[in-house]
A and B are shown apart, each in its own frame.
Chain A
Amino acid sequence: MADTAHAAHVGAHLETHSETSTGLDSRKLAIWTFIGSECLFFASLIGTYLVYRGRSLVGPFPHEEWVSPAGVHFEPILEIKLVTVGTALLLFSSLFVVLALNGAQRGRRGQLLTWLGMTILCGMFFIGMQVYEFTHFVHKGLTIKTNLFGASFFTLTGFHGTHVTIGVIWLITVFILALRRKLPPEKALNLEIAALYWHFVDVVWVVIFPVVYLMK
């Protein structure tokens, strides 16, 4: 049996978890568990998109031209160049957040703030790009109601965009903490957990981008 000192010690770490059965911090394990669950969420959305690919009864279509019964001509609707730039920035942001985390762990405040700021800017650009893309589509006659492509496209990329938005809010919160000198190296885990989530959101986009934009 452990002595009282040990017992008190274990109790003290109920919420901070420096000592666990696996040696992993519980919060880190929790975010991995959550990410595992989220995989199924996006798998279902991507699956739905794939099932309905090419099954829209009316246009506009993603990769093909379409002439409506009224004789209106619709170009293929996807703007691959713009989204490629957004994709690249989102991927770079994964690198940036690693550099920021490295800064946090080593107590290099300048490095932390610079790269965390860059990560947030990339995330914001991505959201901006998506807002532009969505409004652009609506102007070109594609809404969530138009056809199965519109429905599955807006749902899939919209939920991804929501995840990016939550990630940006989370990273801004950590940024403000760092700015107020409340993110010392021993608390770098607060950033690491947000970063794990951020990487996951990026990885999901790595699947969505080819499936939606590149696959014809």
Chain B
Amino acid sequence: MATTVTGDLRTQAAHAHAEPTGLWSWITTVDHKRIGILYGASAFMFFLIGGLEALLLRIQLGRPDNTFLSPDAYNQLFTMHGTTMIFLAVMPLSAMFFNFFIPLLIGARDVAFPRLNAFSYWVFILGGLFLNASFLFHAAPNAGWFGYANLTSTQYSPGLNIDFWMIGLQILGIASLAAAVNFFVTVLNLRAPGMKLMRMPMFVWMSFITQALLLLAFPVITVALILLMFDRFFGTHFYVPSAGGDPILWQHLFWIFGHPEVYILILPAFGIVSEVLPVFSRKPLFGYAAMVFSGAFIAFLGFGVWSHHMFSTGMGPIADTVFSLSTMLIAIPTGVKIFNWIGTIWGGSIQLKTPMYFALGFIAMFIMGGLSGVMHASPPADLQQTDTYFIVAHFHYVLFGGSIFALTSGAYYWWPKMFGRMLDEKIGKIHFWLMLIGFNLTFFPMHFAGLLGMPRRVYTYSAETGLTWLNQLETVGALVLFLAIAAFLYNILKAWAGPRNAPADPWNGATLEWAIPSPPQPFNFAEIPVVHSRDPLWELKRERGGPLPEPARVSGAGIHMPNPSFWPALTACGVAAMLIGVMLLPKLGPWGIIAGGALLLFGVFNWAFEPA
């Protein structure tokens, strides 16, 4: 058929595949790989900001009765640290991998809705920038990432701080939902021939389950935030006890979202290590089906445990028992996963490369976080631990020791594919050891500080508490973590300055992305592959009796790819403007909302009627 393609189409295709450069090409791109890089770069920037915030907090706590930060600045920094790391760092870093690798792993040329994908990114970045713009007004959110009512009421938080927080989260929620619809459909509908559901790489499976969680969890916080918005802007009393409202309603709605949210943060990480461990053990993933179903089971149970965040509200023995048991139940599918990872490396021919270091570090750290999690699944234990540093230790072991270690593993693993450059192994291992030591130095003592009664979210402590040396250890740990991230940055810059030296398949990979050049061409696959097994590339290499030849870069003439479009970015501006218009009601009246809405409609209609 290639020979029958008209000359006109050929020039069009050649034009489309010339890898355009320049700012405009990035604003209008609908290529899932470029959008993935945009997500990754933005998320890494926010990760650095969030890390800097944490460093300031640790400096403040480095000695008793410190005055480095004011209580108010401390509140703003811990709130922004949590909000940033969850919504602007870990989630979009996962989104980077969804974007770049889901289509590659399932053998597709792009996502189901490329323009919607661009829209998600632009809404995300506008939301992230808006949230951080609060610093310019000295009004960063200051009520914690969970924003408990009625601390967030106009009575107790009259400033702009909470407005920035709720509008920012509302904008980010729209980005997540749009992306979730897109990836849910992509995984179901764009798989290459032969890629049955039970042949999908584990990262795709875990990402797929994550999209389902996003779809079902985000509408709930959307409603919770709408009610808060109405309380603050329109004088309703949803969370105001004096008018009969119930602040606990916020907690229920927030945690019905919030608990699935922690699985949204960790399931992609599970997926990444499930790709890395088999490749560097030279063994297929152990217990594939059990891994799929335990992931689905974790997600399912994740919707039935939210009240374990609320034991201290006094829900009564029945609710406490139910939520305690359902929480402990989650340890079972999680344990299945851990044993399967260990089963995967058991007896394997282990290649100790940097991605493997981080994946192994992930297993160890995540187990520790998981164990402390089971501890406070028990209400009597939780009542002692809640609101102390023990909790802070726990969730950093699962989010940093879990998610961040796995995401870093994924970064080292997939860097050559994304940029065509290898990251340095030696610096990578220095990065790993600094991170492992710094991480444990920072967060392990928090278990003890917490059990000794040190409360969270308090800007200082007195020397008489005897907590000084633990806190000093933690602060030293934070500085080591700073060095670890510096090592990573140096590694990135060094690779950037270096030549494009990465082969298509540097790790002897098992999945489809390693069959195409590094970095991939805009259309990914010159020919859509046909899949016969779970590890299609290993199968191919076995059949050939050796490594595959380096794939050639081809012209791709005749492959129709979607055209770049400006409308997603413009529509995203409309969405953000509309929501920010709500915040500006006292200043602009309804005109901000109307202008944003008009921009949104203009964008949507041009988008809908744009020739594909």
Contact = CB atoms under 8 A, between A and B. Distances in A.
A152 B245 CA distance: 11
B182 to A, nearest CB: 8
Nearest to B253: A44
B181 A48 contact: no
Given A2-B193, A7-B559, A44-B253, A15 B114 contact: yes
Contacts of A36: 215-216
Interface in B337-380: none
Given A11-B109, A22-B189, A151-B230, A33 B236 contact: no
Interface residues of B, number: 59
Given A21-B189, A26-B112, A48-B249, A148 B527 contact: no
A27 to B, nearest CB: 8
Q: Which residue among A8, A30, A159 has the maximum number of chain B CB atoms within 10 Å of its CB?
A: A8
B98 interface: no
Interface stretch (A49-57, A67-75, A110-118, A123-131): A49-57
B236 A144 contact: yes
A34 interface: yes
Interface stretch (B218-226, B326-334, B420-428): B218-226
Contacts of B219: 37-41, 44
Contacts of B451: none
Contact of A14 (B236, B244, B245, B562): B562
Interface string B243-255: 1111001000100
A147 B560 CA distance: 58
A155 B110 contact: no
B316 interface: no
B307 to A, nearest CB: 14
B170 to A, nearest CB: 13
Given A2-B193, A3-B527, A151-B230, A16 B612 contact: yes
B278 interface: no
A1 B527 contact: yes
The range of chain A's interface size is 35 or more
Contacts of B113: 15, 26, 30
A45 B224 CA distance: 9
Interface in B166-215: 177, 180-182, 184-185, 188-191, 193, 195, 215
A8 B1 contact: yes
B237 A148 contact: yes
A9 B530 CA distance: 15
A186 B221 CA distance: 39
A150 B256 CA distance: 25
B1 A44 contact: no
A44 B220 contact: yes
9 contacts: A7-B528, A14-B110, A15-B562, A20-B188, A21-B190, A22-B189, A26-B185, A37-B180, A41-B219
Instruction: Pick the 9 closest A-B CB pairs, nearest first.
Output: A5-B1, A41-B219, A44-B223, A151-B236, A20-B189, A40-B219, A145-B235, A37-B215, A15-B612
Given A30-B185, A38-B219, A173-B605, 17 more contacts: A1-B529, A2-B527, A4-B2, A11-B523, A14-B109, A14-B114, A14-B560, A15-B113, A24-B189, A40-B216, A48-B249, A52-B246, A57-B244, A145-B234, A145-B236, A145-B237, A155-B227
